[in-house]
Amino acid sequence: MPARGVSELDVLGLSCCCWDLLAIVDRMPELDDKAPMREWTQQGGGQAATAMVAVARLGGKAGIIGRVGDDENGDHIHRAFVAERVDTSGLRQVPGETSQFAICIIHGPTGKRTIFWKPGTVGPPAAAEVSPEQVRAAKVLLVDAHAPEAGLQAAQYAHEAGLPIVLDLEKPSPTNEALIRLSTHPVLPLGFVRALTGVDDPIAAARRAQRLGPQTVVVTLGDRGCVAVEGARVVRLAAYDVPVVDTTGAGDVFHGAFAYGLVLGLGLEDNLRLASAVAALKCRALGGRAGLPSLAEAQELVRTGRFREAS
């Protein structure tokens, strides 16, 4: 049972928390040039942070551990979580510090992005800011790579409690390798597992990563779908064929939906279908959060959607 004052959650995320300004342009300007914006928006960002919003949209109880400054962007970040009913008891607003901020420019004809970001002065949460009671009150832990010490501490608490641990990592490092050893369900981009293992083939790379300890390893392939290994089993899934406005945050929400699928008790293939559907539907709108679906919408795409042709 969680300690008094600690909320019971389906998924707890530990992440950097960012405020994003996003715009779509029809052409990228040259230096010392201008280009009109077709559309723009402001939204919260951050990998596990956006994943927690995805969990909440799907109907789950999500919470976030992170830090923001007491500046205007920190206020925006906090209010956005509250509006989405994400538990913010683990979100610390640090006086006198500034929050992370990013400007994301999306090239409309290709969907490719250029991102300018400022980390702010607030820094990541420290290991001492994570309590075992917080972690054990959740059914699943999701950790990204932006708070190494706190992430390792949270993963250790979850590992000791026998909780599923989902990872969202970007670059190999000793800390990230240690996280993989503690995790149960690392969900890793192809570039990461190739760099980690030195193996090009995604399934062979997943097998090599599996030797570090996790029973299940998922490798995401962008618009080519994903592959996964679970024990001796291999699962391949193409991406859903949907109109795409912006792919910002698609990987983040894949992780969130996959973590919530573990709460729902879904088997590997069904969980990959749910996560893929949520990521695909997110792409219908600008930004990582605006297009997030309900569980019913995601299930409808799983039931009726078409897959992209394999390449």
Of the candidates 49, 113, 42, 104, the residue with the CA atom closest to the CA atom of residue 73: 42
Measured CA to CA, the distance from residue 224 to residue 238 in angstroms comes to 6
Give every CB contact of residue 172 below 8 A, 6+ residues apart in sequence: 192, 195, 196
Give every CB contact of residue 203 below 8 A, 6+ residues apart in sequence: 219, 227, 229, 234
Of the candidates 271, 229, 276, the residue with the CA atom closest to the CA atom of residue 254: 276
Contact 229, 269 (CB under 8 A): no
pLDDT on residue 71: 97
Contact 250, 220 (CB under 8 A): no
How confident is the model over 113-138, as a mean pLDDT? Answer: 95
Tokens standing for 234?
A: 């291999």
Strands 37-45 and 233-237: unpaired
3-class secondary structure, 187: strand
pLDDT on residue 112: 85
Mean per-residue pLDDT over the chain, rounded: 94
* φ, ψ for residue 258, nearest 5 deg: -65, -45
Contact 101, 118 (CB under 8 A): yes
Of the candidates 70, 72, 48, 237, the residue with the CA atom closest to the CA atom of residue 146: 48
Long-range CB pairs of 161-164 (<8 Å, 24+ gap) are 161/132, 161/135, 161/136, 163/135, 163/136, 163/138, 163/139, 164/139, 164/140, 164/259, 164/262
Report pTM: 0.94
Measured CA to CA, the distance from residue 6 to residue 26 in angstroms comes to 48
Q: What is the pLDDT of residues 131-189, one digit of tens each?
A: 999 999 999 999 999 999 999 999 999 999 999 999 999 999 999 999 999 999 999 99
How confident is the model over 115-140, as a mean pLDDT? Answer: 96
How confident is the model over 225-250, as a mean pLDDT? Answer: 95
Measured CA to CA, the distance from residue 140 to residue 261 in angstroms comes to 10
Q: What is the pLDDT of residues 30-82, one digit of tens each?
A: 999 999 999 999 999 999 999 999 999 999 999 999 999 999 999 999 999 99
How confident is the model over 278-290, as a mean pLDDT? Answer: 95
Displacement of CA 148 from its chain's centroid (Å)? 16
Measured CA to CA, the distance from residue 30 to residue 34 in angstroms comes to 8
* φ, ψ for residue 290, nearest 5 deg: -60, -35
Measured CA to CA, the distance from residue 214 to residue 241 in angstroms comes to 30
Give every CB contact of residue 202 below 8 A, 6+ residues apart in sequence: 190, 193, 219, 221, 227
The position carrying tokens 């973590």 is 259
Strands 18-25 and 37-45: antiparallel
Measured CA to CA, the distance from residue 10 to residue 260 in angstroms comes to 7
pLDDT on residue 200: 96
Measured CA to CA, the distance from residue 255 to residue 286 in angstroms comes to 19
pLDDT on residue 251: 95
pLDDT on residue 110: 85
CA distances from 209 to 148, 174, 206 (A): 19, 14, 5
